[in-house]
Amino acid sequence: MLKGAILVLSGPSGAGKSTIISASSDEIGEYYFSISTTTREPRVGEQNGVDYFFVSKASFEEDIKAGNFLEYAQVHGNYYGTSLKPVKKALEEGKLVIFDIDVQGHRLVRAKMNDITTSVFITPPTLKSLETRLRARCTDDESIILNRITNAKSEIQALGEYDFTIINDTVEKASKAFSLVAKVARLKQSSTDEADFIHQWLGKK
Ligand code: ADP
Ligand code: 5GP
C-alpha cells in the first residue's frame, strides 16, 4: 500500500526549482527526491545519478515500451521521465516524494495518484526576470534559452491547475513558502488510508 505523499514542483526552466529545493532541504525533514531520466545533454556541473540519469534516446524508448515510467513527456525537444520503481518503493515506505516535473507530467501524476498529490508552481516575478536568470545561470546556449522562454509563456498558462503558486522573488521567502507547502503535503493521506481509518473508527472488524 502507498502510505507516503507526493509533492509536485513545476515551473519554467530557470524559475529556481533546484535552488529552492536545496535551500529548503533542512527545513523539510526527510524526503525522497525523484531523480528523473532524460535524453538531454548534462549541463556543466551536473552529475549522472544525482541531477538526472542521462540516457540515449534508444534506451529511453526501450524503457517506455517496458512500462518503466510513472510518467514521461517531451520537453524542449528531449524526453524526460519519472521511473516508477523507486517512487513506488519510497511511497510504500511512507516517504514524502518530491518531483521536479513539467506541466504535462503534473497532469499525468494527478490522473494516476491524485489522492496523495499536492502541487506547487514556482515562477520568478516576471518573464523579464526569468530571462535574466536564465542568462545569469550561464549553462545554456542562446538558442536553448530562447526555446525555454517560448515554453515558459505557455507553461505559465497552467498555473491555475496547481494547489499553490510561489513567486520566487527572493530565495529566502520562496524557500520558507516551499517548506510550508511540503509540510502540508505530508498530511495528505491516500483515500485507502481514510477508508481504513473510518472502518476502525466505527469499531468494525
Ligand atoms: P530551475 O531548477 O527551475 O531550472 P535554478 O534553480 O537552476 O532553476 O535557477 C535558475 C538560476 O536563477 C540560477 O542561476 C539560480 O542561482 C538563480 N536564482 C534562483 N532563485 C533566484 C532568486 N530568487 N533571485 C535571483 N536569482 C535566482
Ligand atoms: P531542465 O532541462 O531545465 O532540467 O528541465 C526542463 C523541464 O523538464 C523542467 O520544466 C522540468 O521540471 C521538467 N522535467 C524534469 N524531469 C522531468 C520528468 O521526469 N518528467 C517531466 N514530465 N518533466 C520533467
Give pLDDT tens digits along the chain (205 positions). Answer: 668 999 999 999 999 999 999 999 999 988 999 999 999 999 889 999 999 999 999 999 999 999 999 999 998 889 999 999 999 999 999 999 999 999 999 999 999 999 999 999 999 999 999 999 999 988 778 888 999 999 999 999 999 999 999 999 999 999 999 999 999 999 887 777 788 889 999 998 7
Q: Give, using CA atoms, the residue closest to atom 19 of ligand 1.
A: 16
Ligand nearest to the CA of 101: 2
62 and 124 share a domain? no
CB-neighbour burial class of residue 13 (10 A; exposed 0-12, middle 13-18, buried 19+): buried
Q: Tell me the C-alpha distance between 167 and 172, whole Å.
A: 11
79 and 113 share a domain? no
50 and 8 share a domain? no
CB distance 168 to ligand 1 below 6 Å:
yes
125 and 182 share a domain? yes
Ligand nearest to the CA of 80: 2
Name the domain boundary from 55, 73, 93: 93
Q: Are 205 and 53 in contact (CB under 8 A)?
A: no
20 and 53 share a domain? no
* Residue 52 domain boundaries: 35-93
Distance 171 CA to ligand 1 centre (A): 8
Overall pTM surpassing 0.85 (yes/no): yes
- Give me the number of domains the chain comprises: 2
Name the domain boundary from 93, 117, 140: 93
Distance 72 CA to ligand 2 centre (A): 9
Residue 78 has phi, psi (to 5 degrees) of: -125, 160
